[in-house]
Amino acid sequence: MVPPTDTAEKTAKRKAAKDWSPAKSAELYGIENWGHGFFGVNKHGDVTVNLTDDNGTADISLHEVIEGLRDRGTHLPVLLRFRDLLHNRIAEINSSFRKAIKDVGFKGSYRGVYPIKVNQQRQVIEEIAEFGKQFHYGLEAGSKPELIAALAHMHDPEAYLVCNGYKDEEFIDLALNAQKMGLRVMLVLEMPSELDLILERSRKLGILPNLGVRVRLSTRGSGHWSESAGDKSVFGLSAAQVIEAVDRLKDSGYLGCLKMLHYHQGSQIPNIAAIREGATEATRMYCDLIKEGAPMGVLDIGGGMAVDYDGSHTNFHSSCNYSVQEYCADVVETIAQICDKAGVAHPNLISESGRAVVSYYSVLVFNILDVTSAQTTDKAPAVPENAPQNLLNLIEVNKVLAKKNLQECFNDAVYYRDQMRAQFFYGAATLRERGLAEAWFWHILTKISKLLNDLDEVPEDLRELSSTLVDYYYGNFSLFQSLPDSWAIEQIFPVMPIHRLDERPLNRAVLADITCDCDGKIDRFIDKEDVAKILPLHDFKPDEPYYVAVFLVGAYQETLGDLHNLLGDTNVVGVHLENGKPVYTHEVEGDTVADVLTYVEYDPKELVTKFRNFAEKAVVEGRISPKERREILDIYRTGLGGYTYFES
């Protein structure tokens, strides 16, 4: 029974909150669609991550992980890295290729390489070198610094070390010498002009290179990076250039060094049809290079395997319409068919998946600092004496507002509010009058949005309205530092609170970061059918931490980030399971204020000196006391040594 004192609205809200369950949250945020079995929701309403130790697997609450870190004094935002998820993905891709090879009766082998640029952090390279051993998983270096890092970590003579990118003499010498030391180095021609230098260094050092040639396909991938294949791509040799290179290799007696064909269709290719097409074109080229007399033997299909960020399993750019197993089966089958038709032996395969390997590995967690509600107000604003006509009109709109005239009333409210603003602009209304008109306007919008909730079908024009009635949740993070692709290419990542999932989230939120930049916000969210403009979140209670996480941020996000507003690297913590309990490792402290200032050429010591001189001047002039000088300088120094994010 409803207690008689309850208003109908309160009852409805309570009932709605009560009708809720963690399972409903799991469905609302789609965690089973994008979580790949790694992430879930437990019966207490926390997001969990599935980790493994010697005794088996356990679902660990992210909320407990974060509370544990806070107890240890680690501030948010924090980037959590789960090595188990990285291991799991490496194993999944390798075993999927093996299965495909077996199913198709393919004669070649598979060896993956990890492209360092996707996440260059040392911890990642170390994990890959260590865990990848069992699969002879190698590395792909796209620059000299990446090669230098690779050579320190990758010493498996069975694994490939693929050298892409622009190569100078030093790069080539390093690669050739590494080959001499027993590594399987492949030097890939990215541009015709590289050939002369490679041959020259090879003669000088007396080492025959294993050459690969990167070809530019006319088949374009689809998605954001489609330009990296296709005729406009800056990388790779065109068909004409490939033939030219083959002729030069023949003339110089080096054709026997051409062992590999490589292509890369671009990253995050959501459509399996594009992947099959790319493989078809490249395999045709591979077969013809054998007919030209090159030994070949290896086909490197590059990266591009996509991640289903929104869980929709479609060819939308933040999704993909295939699984890892389907990708492998399609690629292997296509290559086998074309080789068989051409009477060419099946090649050994290399793939360079980066995103698909590391995306799941990292999760960014931040706390909410504050919320500004849409200026909604249930309470009717004041009615002043001598109100201007436009304000009276607004009050009248409020009076007649009903379900059947929503659209009309909305249009009128916008009109009278704009009239009021125009009057203010020309000096015909005061700031107070304008403020009151805007308050009435929001009051009307609040009522409209409530009435909309009861409608089955929302009129087209009013749909926009519901996206203006959002609450801004201020998160302790920087989009530019931690989620650059969210800003740069409108990539969508799964975002959700990591606790309170047994409560129904009743607020319609947009996330703002702390850069105060109008681009520093997340207002596009995953949705099964479309892109959602709001994220359902719970009421924010200022005395209680509220944690939100962004998932699948292991690929490309960490090192593309910039120092927008001088917000630096976040704290990073590795988490794995031991005896059924989470263990924190690889704790890396994020940048201090002094660190980021140094990046832009300030000298922290000099800053202190300058500020101290300024403070001393204030003492001399009698503005502050010597004791105050000391206190202010202490604050300044502490600030320099502190975290760049909001410390609570």
Ligand X SMILES: *Cc1c(COP(=O)(O)O)cnc(C)c1O
- Region near ligand X per CB under 6 A, out of 246-254, 289-297, 354-362, 443-451: 354-362
Nearer to ligand X, 317 or 417 (CB): 317
Cα separation of 71 and 457, whole Å? Answer: 48
Cβ distance to ligand X smaller for residue 492 or 535: 492
| Cα–Cα dist 325/328, whole Å | 5
> Least distance in Å: CB of 142 to ligand X?
6
Work out whether 96 is an interface residue with ligand X (CB under 6 A): no
Q: Which is nearer to ligand X, 223 or 574 (CB)?
A: 223
Would you list the DSSP string of 8-59? HHHHHHHHHHHT--HHHHHHHTTHHHHSTTTEEE-TTS-EEEEEEETTEEEE
Catalytic residue among 287, 328, 409, 516: 516
Which window, 126-134, 302-310, 590-598, 615-623, contacts ligand X (CB under 6 A)? 302-310
Residues 397-416: x where in contact with ligand X by CB under 6 A, - otherwise, as a string: --------------------
331 binds ligand X per the rule CB under 6 A: no
Letter for the amino acid at 551?
A: F
Q: Is 305 in the site for ligand X (CB under 6 A)?
A: yes
Among residues 355, 417, 443, 499, the one that binds ligand X under rule CB under 6 A: 355
Q: Does 572 bind ligand X (CB under 6 A)?
A: no
**Binding residue for ligand X, selected from 223, 270, 303, 561, defined by CB under 6 A:** 303
DSSP string, 209-252: --EEEEB--SS---STTGGGSSTT-SSSB-HHHHHHHHHHHHHH
Question: Does residue 524 belong to the site contacting ligand X (CB under 6 A)?
Answer: no
| CB 555, min distance to ligand X, A | 6
Number of residues interacting with ligand X: please give it, by CB under 6 A: 18
Interaction of residue 304 with ligand X, rule CB under 6 A: yes
Does residue 164 touch ligand X according to CB under 6 A? yes
Cα–Cα distance for residue pair 134/159, rounded to 1 Å: 10
User: Cis omega before residue 77 (within 30°)?
Assistant: yes
Residue nearest to ligand X (CB): 303
Distance CA 449, CA 374 (A): 12
Shortest Cβ distance from residue 81 to ligand X (Å)? 17
Strands 535-537 and 507-512, by their bridges, are: antiparallel
Compute the least distance from the CB of residue 262 to ligand X, in Å: 7
- In the set 221, 278, 302, 475, which binds ligand X (CB under 6 A)? 302
- Asked if residue 115 binds ligand X (CB under 6 A), the reply is yes
The CB-side HSE value for 214 (13 A sphere, CA atoms) comes to 27
CB closer to ligand X out of 115 and 132: 115
Give the list of residues 6+ apart from residue 207 with CB closer than 8 angstroms, or none.
Answer: 176, 177, 179, 180
Name the DSSP class of 269. Answer: B
Site string for ligand X, 134-153 (x = CB under 6 A): ------x-x-----------
Neighbour order of strands in the sheet with 39-41: 39-41, 47-53, 56-61
Cβ at position 333, least distance to ligand X in Å: 20
Residues 6 or more apart whose CB falls under 8 angstroms from that of 262 comprise 162, 164, 188, 212, 213, 214, 215, 299, 300, 302, 350
Report angle CA 482, 304, 104 to the nearest 5 degrees: 140
Closer to ligand X by Cβ: residue 120 or 377: 120
The residue from 61, 267, 362, 419 that contacts ligand X (CB under 6 A) is 267
Q: Is 117 in the site for ligand X (CB under 6 A)?
A: yes
Helices (H), 469-603: 479-482, 484-488, 557-560, 593-599
User: Which residue's entry shows tokens 């490679």?
Assistant: 198
List, in sequence order, every residue forming a beta bridge with 300; answer none if it has no partner.
262, 350
With contact defined as beta carbons under 8 Å apart, do 291 and 465 qualify? no
**Which CB, 266 or 497, lies closer to ligand X?**
266
The reply on whether position 221 binds ligand X by CB under 6 A is: no
Select from 144, 264, 434, 447 the one that contacts ligand X (CB under 6 A). Answer: 264
Q: Is 257 a catalytic residue?
A: no
The region of 25-33, 112-120, 177-185, 634-642 touching ligand X under the rule CB under 6 A is 112-120
111 binds ligand X (CB under 6 A): no
Residues of this chain that bind ligand X (CB under 6 A): 115, 117-118, 140, 142, 164, 264, 267-268, 302-305, 352-356
Task: Tell me the catalytic residues.
Answer: 516
